[in-house]
Structure 1
Amino acid sequence: MAEAAILRVRHCGADIFCRRPPPRCPACGRPLRGAGLPAAPVRLPSPFRHGHRQPRAFLLRPTAGTFLGGYDGRSDLHVGITNSNGVVYNYNEEGIHRAETGWEQCISIPLVQPEEFGLLQQWDKLLEEFSVGEAWLPHRYEEHDHNCYTYALAFINSVLTAQGKRQMSKSEFTEKFVIPQTKKASKYITLHQELTANDFYIVPLPHQEKQC
């Protein structure tokens, strides 16, 4: 799913976000061409990834719709784990799913480092064996206590245990890996929504005098 680029231009002591670089500063009306390096448009990196192209990763997406397709910041989120081919293993009230589509716009957190050669080779086998366990049968699902997040974290902890490493609590994993990514996503979603309604979105820079 292609995303329209978000550009940032810095002028008048403010960040000016837009889809297309304007010829003149929308704050002061002066030409931006020749205004120096800060006024050159910079494309913001998207925090979202095509989940099926992210092997061996923890994925996060809205349960319904997409992050840039009307997500309000409060709706439920769904998580999954990819195998080496980008198939997303995820758990809900119907049991384990192995999805090859539907995760095209996600927050992605890599779980295996390139130097972990042994784990790279075993990942698919470990994920499949873990996922056929009785714990993940449909009737075991419970919305708050035995859900998609429980499944993903339990698999991650099973891998950590096999490596002789300490397991992580839900709050620890969330704070360390998920929250930094969701904060970036939240800011990007805000910009996307503003630029869907307006040509420009102007954010004053802190502690900086305006200079035109």
Structure 2
Amino acid sequence: MEKTVIKYRHCGRNIYSFSCSDAPYSHRRDDSERQCPICLQSLTFGLLDAPVALPCPFRNGHTVSCAFLIGSIHGPSHLGEWNDTEIHVGLSNSGGLVYNYTLSGVRRDDRGWEQCVCIQLCPPWRHALRESWDRELEQFSASPKWVSERFDEEREFGSCCYGFALTFINHMRSLDGKVSLSRDEFTGSHVLPRMKTVSLYINIYHAILQHGFCIASHDM
């Protein structure tokens, strides 16, 4: 999913397509040579209707510090449906090392999370909290609770990698004088809003791949 998605308005509709720069060089056209897929007329724009690039919802998790990361071994395009795809979550430290709970215990990955959904939880300006995040995350990961032998037990209770991450997040919230969040509270306030945007982006991207353009019922 490396093509740039652009949005423009024509014929009273918001239309999505890929940027001309993503086409093969011999097939590139400027906007004056492109046709509207609805009226088939040459595209002309007013200032407010001109094409704008949509921000890609996927980032390199190793460059986003102190964040909750959502990824898939099958790639970012499989993150479109929260309930119907196998996902994996982790936590990055201030240096981009990703801690995640797996069958082999807690992994510390310096690669593999280059295309994921990133929810930064510790703002860059809170230097003391970022330092304690790194220290606490390393100590937390060494707890016997997260050994490989207990992975199936945690999975039986619906925890696994999500439980590992949320337990640590609540630990840091308590150190910061904040109340803990239930799984439903954290998912509802932090995860679902982001995943709805991701799902819409993926649907638009796939529609453009199939038809060359997309007219979405929900605007991004």
What TM-score do you get using the length of structure 2 for normalisation?
0.85
Give the corresponding residue for 1:31: 42
Q: Cα gap change, 1:190/1:113 in structure 2, threshold over 3 Å: closer, same or farther?
A: same
Give the corresponding residue for 1:60: 70
CA RMSD of aligned residues (A): 1.9
Deviation at 1:114, TM superposition (A): 2.9
> In structure 2, how many angstroms separate the alpha carbons of the residues matched to 1:203 and 1:179?
20
Give the corresponding residue for 2:54: 44
Match of 1:86 among 92, 96, 99: 96
Q: Cα gap change, 1:205/1:123 in structure 2, threshold over 3 Å: closer, same or farther?
A: closer
Match of 2:203 among 170, 190, 203: 190
Deviation at 1:75, TM superposition (A): 1.3
Q: Cα gap change, 1:23/1:39 in structure 2, threshold over 3 Å: closer, same or farther?
A: farther
Identity %: 38
- Return the structure number with greater helix share: 2
Give the corresponding residue for 1:99: 109
Question: What is the one-letter code of the residue matched to 1:26?
Answer: P
Deviation at 1:95, TM superposition (A): 0.6
Deviation at 1:193, TM superposition (A): 0.9
> In structure 2, how many angstroms separate the alpha carbons of the residues matched to 1:78 and 1:84?
20
Deviation at 1:116, TM superposition (A): 2.1
1:13 touches 1:204 (CA, 8 Å); kept in 2? no
Structure 2 counterparts to residues 118-197 of structure 1, below 5 A: 118-141=128-151, 142-145=154-157, 146-197=159-210
Unmatched segments (≥5 aa) in structure 1: 207-212
Question: What is the one-letter code of the residue matched to 1:155?
Answer: F
Give the corresponding residue for 2:121: 111
